[in-house]
Homo-oligomer: A and B are copies of this chain.
Amino acid sequence: MLRFAAIGLDHRHIYDLTAGLLAAGAECAGHDPETSDPRVLAGFRKRFPHVPAVTREMLLDDPSIGFIVLAAIPRDRAALAIEAMRRGKDVMVDKPGVTTAEQLAAIESAVRETGRIWSIALGRLTSPAVQVALEVAQSGELGRLVSLTSLAPHRLNRALRPDWFFDRDAYGGIINDIGVHSIDQFLAFANASDATIAASTIGCFGTEPQGFEDFAEIALRSPTMTGTMRLDWFTPDGLPDWGDGRLFLVGTEGTLELRKNLDIEGRAGGDHMFVANKKRTRHQDCSGMPVTYYRDFLDDVRDRTGRMLDGGRVFSVCRLALRCQAEAVRFTP
């Protein structure tokens, strides 16, 4: 059985990552009790009462621990990941994996030098609906893909957020933080390792504190298709989910829509797919489809066959997110 440690309990995403790994058959050998937000630590202990608190140093020294899962403050993730890799551990990290280009370069070096796995748990990998949509696109049912449009609203949840959530240096900016999912998704559907930036905009529409990046829109181009991605922190309080995330694909012979989180005023649950092809329309509830990311990660930790290396795409995704962030035009009404 593969043993791992949970380190950097600063973001609640650590709960899903840990739960996914446990469900896939790994054992959590311990959690690092250092945190910037005691509420996150308390939530972890409530969810995983059998996982002992162990100091970070002891966890990183323990040769029985094969990898760590990491949800520290984003700006600290790269240094922690590099430290873990240099001490022989693979790494699964919450997004964003890095907040600067320098951190990304250091991660790439560390991966090259140590041969360790560095995997970001991106939304594409953990979404049943996106996995099914990728299969539909690859099947040819939609013809050649022309365009992707992604809408990714998020709930601000101000009461739950620690100070670092509002500090751009800490999270790396809205595109680096939540746009990285959308950029990864576009490159996957475009089957491309990179894209050109047709436009990138970051908006500040008045969410406190002043200068908080509450909106962004990115237009990317692969050699074969276009993609436009909207990100924002404006999920209304009355929506019964953290965001009404959508994906729209246009192909030369079919179209596809995902309602990832919910079907507003419609069907129960999330992961709804709607396809129109040459013959008909169809709806599929994808919520029961398997998410193989955690199992694939564990297989890769065990047999080192490179599923998680993905031809280096994860580095391209981070690099592109950092570029979109850096090159964005600012919009303030």
Q: Which residues of A are interface residues toward B (Cβ below 8 A)?
A: 144, 146-147, 149, 151, 153, 198-199, 201, 203, 205-207, 214-215, 217, 219, 221, 223-226, 228, 230, 232, 234-240, 244, 248, 250-255, 257, 264-266, 274, 276-283, 329, 331, 333
Contacts and interface: CB of A to CB of B under 8 A. Distances in A.
A232 B203 contact: no
Copies of this chain, how many? Answer: 2
B237 A198 contact: no
A252 B205 contact: yes
A281 B230 contact: no
Q: Which of A203, A225, A238 has the most CB of B within 10 A?
A: A238
A149 B229 CA distance: 10
B219 A199 contact: yes
Given A147-B215, A232-B147, A255 B153 contact: yes
Given A230-B228, A266-B266, A240 B331 contact: no
A83 B12 CA distance: 68
A219 B221 contact: no
A228 B254 CA distance: 22
Given A225-B333, A226-B215, A232-B250, A276 B238 contact: yes
Contacts of A223: 333
Contact of A279 (B238, B276, B281): B238
A231 B144 CA distance: 17
A276 B239 contact: yes
A238 B280 contact: yes
A156 to B, nearest CB: 11
29 contacts: A144-B206, A146-B232, A147-B215, A149-B230, A153-B255, A198-B199, A201-B226, A215-B226, A217-B228, A221-B331, A224-B333, A228-B228, A228-B230, A230-B250, A234-B251, A234-B252, A236-B255, A237-B253, A237-B279, A238-B254, A238-B276, A238-B277, A238-B278, A239-B281, A244-B255, A244-B276, A265-B274, A265-B281, A265-B283
Given A149-B151, A235-B255, 20 more contacts: A144-B206, A144-B333, A147-B203, A198-B199, A199-B199, A199-B219, A201-B219, A201-B226, A217-B228, A223-B333, A225-B333, A228-B228, A234-B251, A236-B277, A237-B279, A238-B276, A238-B278, A238-B279, A265-B283, A266-B266
